[in-house]
A and B are shown apart, each in its own frame.
Chain A
Amino acid sequence: MTSILPRGVSDASFNQALSEFRAIVGNSAVLNSDEDRQSYIDPYAMGDGKDHDSSAIIAPASTEEVQAIVRAANKYKVALWPVSRGKNLGYGTASPAEAGNVILDLSRMDKILDVNEKYAHCLLEPGVGFYDLFYHLQEKKLPLWMSVPGNSWGSVIGNALDRGIGYTPYGDHCEQICGMEVVMPDGEVIRTGMGAMANSTTWQNYKYGYGPSWDQMFMQSNFGIVTKAGVWLQPEPEMTAKVDLAFAKFEDAEWAIDILADLRRRDVIQHNIVFGTPVRAASTMSQRADWYEGEGAIPDSVCEEMMKKLGLGWWNARISLHGHEGVVKANADIIRKALEPKMGKELEFQFWAKGEPMEKAAQGVPTTMGLNCVNWYGGRGGHLGFSPVLSADGKIAFDYAKKVKSLYQEVGQDYYASFTIGRRHINNVGLILYDRDDETTLNRAKKLIDMLLKEAASRGFAEYRSHISYMDAIGDTYDYGNHALRRLNNKVKAALDPNNIIAPGRNGIGSRK
């Protein structure tokens, strides 16, 4: 029996809604037992995760079923929390921001509808995972490459809609979306961009269409449910090169970020660059207890021992180059000239040319290795991302890194950061690791997030993405004009979704206190 109800919905009314849902998708695609709801609780929640419990799960198999569900949800005023595959790990996984929402699990909509080799684009349903698309490209021997995020278990579309990040030239995932099909809160289906023309032949070729371009409206939002989207893929290059960089000193961040950001801005480096601390690297392949078992933050001396043993620096980056042979070799030379004099050693690029074994190529291959980080403190581990956007400037980033490291030390947390360096910005992706069953690590994590929120906001930095527990708090930091943007978002929300049935509270929009 369901022990939690959608907000403002009576038991009787909810039972009627569930009956209608079952009539739409079949009995086996509506779940509401305690055991089934438990399987959707965030496995990395801070604590037991019940504060974000759902009232039921419904899993449609088609756009038409999504439309019918949305209409029924309006009738009974049952809020839905759409997830593509429900693997937004570190941000709440499949759990809703507002407890009691019905999770709309789109993972059964898992068709790869089209892959076009010539134009290097595909059309996907939201249930298609990175592994599914990767296998499809391998199986069909298509010379098309994907960008993958650090943890690739999730949905290609879902990750792009939350503006996830990869580390090859197509790594700005939301930028690769071209054309969407969206079920609106009233049940109507729209197609964005060129897809707004019924017999369009260019839906995945040109993003903007005619008049306003709406695709961004459906990212990190709750204005509709994306049921198909076009994704641009990378044509296999003639050559790649990769090199791992380890910067020996903490202070190296200042000059290294300036050089790397300049190379990025000029497209010598064509991808956003991860620039991370030793704990970030070590947590993907070892546990804290392998290095240190003391209280408080791991001391610098232990980090330095870790760096020596693992061949790391205080900052670690992987650069890859993609393109025609002449371009790749020329860009490798430019990078050598920019970095070798400062680093005092030769850079050893690993080159791959078309036809050589793919293992050597700087291709995005889906992986979950990054998830090892949840085991850092041992026990049932968890992680939560806190990632403000900074300008791509060495001094600004280094000053912030010093301050944040001191805040981690103050609360006794091991400093974990990466600066994902773009052309003009940095996503300072910080993970806060904890043991879900250890109150001390949980309280420390919560205290640290509050401190980081204040610190980032005081410097004019705001987050690029949010965990479900912090959606309002992060929305609060976007405060220009006494939260004018929130008022606009809420006006749009009220106009499109007067019953607030799609993901209330997503990114601070339509939150109900």
Chain B
Amino acid sequence: MKKKPSFSHMGWMLTPVALIALVAGCSKENSAPVPEAKAQPKISAITTATFGRDSKDEGERLFGKECAFCHVGTSTGSFMLNRRLPDDQKGNADLNKRSDLEADYVKAVARNGLVNMPAFSKIEISDEDLDKIANYLARKKP
């Protein structure tokens, strides 16, 4: 970290960019610090909260309604997953940008939960809608 952040920028909810840079400096001695550039890209909380909601792609729209608030941008799922990614993949935790997701895997995680992620019931997401979300996430990325 090069510059001390201004007081008004600091609060109980730091941006992950600032945070990872800060936390990196005090990690265990043997773990490599995470460079600031490798943190999740910063997007506004409003964009995270409404991602995909008006998309023409039904899969993206459903992903926006059910998943994006945790898995896009400045949010919990992306934040937790980014911590687990190997160094050369840091910053790519948003599910909609991942190119290694298979539809069956997405469905299994949604139905069973994973570590800190709660499971989704069939009432919350029907099998049919989950198929659409899983296919959207498993699509070939441009």
Chain A residues in the interface with B (C-beta under 8 A): 28-29, 31, 35-36, 38-40, 43, 57, 59, 86, 89, 93, 105, 107-108, 131-132, 134-135, 138-139, 152-153, 243-244, 246, 274, 276, 280-281, 284-287, 289-291, 293, 305-306, 309-312, 316, 318, 345, 348-350, 358-359, 365-369, 371-372, 374-375, 379-381
Q: Are A311 and B122 in contact (CB under 8 A)?
A: no
With a CB–CB cut-off of 8 A, which chain B residues contact A290? 23, 26-27
Known contacts A105-B121, A310-B14; A246/B54 CB under 8 A: no
CA A40 – CA B69 in complex, angstroms?
Answer: 20
Q: Which of B98-106, B112-120, B132-140 interfaces with chain A?
A: B112-120
B34 to A: closest C-beta gap in Å:
11
Q: Are A39 and B122 in contact (CB under 8 A)?
A: yes
CA A89 – CA B118 in complex, angstroms?
Answer: 10
A-B contacts, 19 of them at CB < 8 A, read A39-B111, A39-B120, A43-B117, A132-B65, A135-B53, A138-B50, A139-B53, A244-B7, A244-B12, A281-B13, A291-B26, A309-B23, A309-B26, A310-B10, A310-B22, A359-B44, A371-B70, A375-B80, A380-B115
Q: Does B74 contact A (CB under 8 A)?
A: yes
A29-B123, A39-B120, A138-B50 known, 12 other contacts, Cβ within 8 Å:
A35-B111, A43-B113, A86-B121, A107-B124, A134-B50, A152-B69, A243-B8, A246-B7, A285-B13, A358-B46, A367-B45, A372-B79
B111 to A: closest C-beta gap in Å:
7
Q: Are A28 and B76 in contact (CB under 8 A)?
A: no
B82 to A: closest C-beta gap in Å:
11
B56 to A: closest C-beta gap in Å:
15
Known contacts A281-B12, A285-B79, A372-B80; A93/B28 CB under 8 A: no
Q: Are B116 and A380 in contact (CB under 8 A)?
A: yes
A420 to B: closest C-beta gap in Å:
13
- As a 0/1 sequence over residues 13 to 29 of chain B, the CB contacts with chain A under 8 angstroms (1 = contact) are 11010010011011110
Q: Which of A36, A152, A309 has the most CB of B within 10 A?
A: A309
Chain B interface bracket (under 10, 10 to 19, 20 to 34, 35 or more): 35 or more
- As a 0/1 sequence over residues 65 to 97 of chain B, the CB contacts with chain A under 8 angstroms (1 = contact) are 100011000111001100100000000000000
Q: Are B12 and A318 in contact (CB under 8 A)?
A: yes
A391 to B: closest C-beta gap in Å:
24
Q: Are A286 and B19 in contact (CB under 8 A)?
A: yes
Known contacts A281-B12, A285-B16, A318-B11; A367/B49 CB under 8 A: yes
Q: Are B123 and A31 in contact (CB under 8 A)?
A: yes
Q: Which residue of A lies closest to B118 (CB)?
A: A43
Residue B26 contacts which of A93, A276, A293, A305 (CB distance < 8 angstroms)?
A: A305
Q: Are B74 and A369 in contact (CB under 8 A)?
A: yes
Q: Are B46 and A43 in contact (CB under 8 A)?
A: no
